[in-house]
Each structure stands twice: as C-alpha cells, then as structure tokens.
Amino acid sequence: MTPEKIKELAKNARLSLTDTECELFCRDIAALEAMCAPLLTLSADFTEHHRARGMDALREDAVGECLTTEAVRSMAPAWEEGYIPVPRAVEGGDE
C-alpha cells in the first residue's frame, strides 16, 4: 500500500484526505489486508465450488414485473418534457 494508492482510492470514494490521513490509512489498510491473509489460503476451486453449488445466494432471484412509465410518472413530484426535474446539487456554475 502506498500514499498514491490511498489517494486514488479516496478520489474514487469521493473523499479528500490530508497528508496525515493518507499516512495513517496507508498503514492501517496494509494491516487490515494482512489480517485478511487467511483468505489467501483458500483455493480458486473452493470459491468455484460454493458458487457452483448455489450456496452463495440467500433466496431465489426471480424476475418480476418492471415498473411501467406511467407508474414511475405517478410517483414523480413533477414531470417536464419526459424528464423528472430535480433541484440543482451545486448552486451557480453554467446554466
């Protein structure tokens, strides 16, 4: 783990970190990864075995009916030219 990697993860996770935080998390995440080392002793066959047996699901993933456009429209607070208007997230900027 490197500070650069932490910065990249932080950017993807929409966090901005101070240098002190970067250093701290660099150390901590390396330690947590080391703690997860027992998983590395499990073979790819082991993973595949459980996937193939369908053990990796709690209940049936059944296809249901989709919402119709009308149903979505009826739930929207407003509807303009085929779109649902939402408040601006950031004030200002380009209109």
Q: Under 8 Å CB-to-CB from 2, ≥6 apart: which residues?
A: 26
Which CB, 11 or 73, lies closer to another protein? 11
* Smallest separation (angstroms) from another protein to the CB of 41: 8
* Smallest separation (angstroms) from another protein to the CB of 79: 19
* Smallest separation (angstroms) from another protein to the CB of 88: 10
Which CB, 42 or 72, lies closer to another protein? 42
29 in Cβ contact with 40 (< 8 Å):
no
Binding site for another protein (CB under 8 A): 5-6, 9-17, 21, 24-25, 28-29, 31-42, 46-47, 49-51, 53, 55-56, 58, 89-93
For residue 51, the tally of other CB atoms under 10 A from its CB is 11
Q: What angle, rounded to 10 degrees, do the helices at 3-12 and 19-35 form?
A: 90
Distance CA 1, CA 31 (A): 10
